[in-house]
């Protein structure tokens, strides 16, 4: 869907980009730039959520490894 062209700045690098679709990619840093600011906010929240979930999974795997594998061999 085409939108009327609008100049928007990339939140990551500050590059000014003309947006005429829902989402385009910044030519300088490669981050997505959205036509509506609320979509940019949801992208950021989703990115933080995915990173947090990834870290939680890594910590859970480390915990299970320590409890089930490493601890019995240390006693």
Residue predicted with more confidence, 30 or 70: 30
> pTM for this structure?
0.71
Give the three-class secondary structure for 32: strand
How many Å apart are CA 31 and CA 24, to the nearest integer? 9
Position 75 scores a pLDDT of 67
**pLDDT score, position 33:** 93
pLDDT score at 22: 92
- Res. 68: pLDDT tops 80: yes
Going by pLDDT thresholds of 50, 70 and 90, the confidence category of residue 62 is very high
Map residue 25 onto helix, strand or coil. Answer: strand
pLDDT digits (tens, 9 = 90+) for 20-58: 999 999 999 999 999 998 998 999 999 999 999 999 999
């Amino acid at each position: 869907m085409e939108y009327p062209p609008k100049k928007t700045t990339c939140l990551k690098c500050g590059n000014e980009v003309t947006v005429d679709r829902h989402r385009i990619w910044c030519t300088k840093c490669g981050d997505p730039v959205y036509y509506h600011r609320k979509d940019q906010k949801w992208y950021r929240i989703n990115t933080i959520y995915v990173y947090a979930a990834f870290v939680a999974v890594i910590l859970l795997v480390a915990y299970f490894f320590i409890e089930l594998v490493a601890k019995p061999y240390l006693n």
